[in-house]
Amino acid sequence: MVTKSPVLPKRVPQVEPDQDGSGTVVLERRTQKTKPPQMYQVLMLNDDYTPMEFVVVVIQEFFAKDLETATQIMLKIHLDGKAVCGVYSRDVAATKVDQVLDAAAKSGHPLKCLSEPVDF
């Protein structure tokens, strides 16, 4: 025994006529504003034991700086006690810090590196 499924009447949405009487519906688009992610600066701290050449190599390797820029950053670390090596998103900055600390530990140097939020 085969029966047909009942046919439901189609519902027609009721549209209120606009001021011009056309009966069209216009949806208003709401733009969502997202703010950019919080950026973090990676700082390297000065110590009296890590060789300057090692710091330059680390800056070149992990922060993709050329020799001259890496040397300038190293001198700023040496003279000011700390310097910014780069500005990244939180996860990338944390990875850079881990890479620097791991390389320093493997080489037996007490080099310190940290990341902190950038204030705009």
Give the model confidence (pLDDT) of 86-100 as tens digits.
999 999 999 999 999
**Helix 90-107 × helix 52-63 angle, to 10°:** 140
Q: What sections of the chain are H helices per DSSP?
A: 52-63, 67-80, 90-107
Task: Delineate the domains of the chain, giving CATH numbers in brackets.
Answer: 39-117 (3.30.1390.10)
- What tens digit of pLDDT does each residue of 56-66 get? 999 999 999 99
Instruction: Report the length, in residues, of the chain.
Output: 120
Model's pTM, two decimal places? 0.71
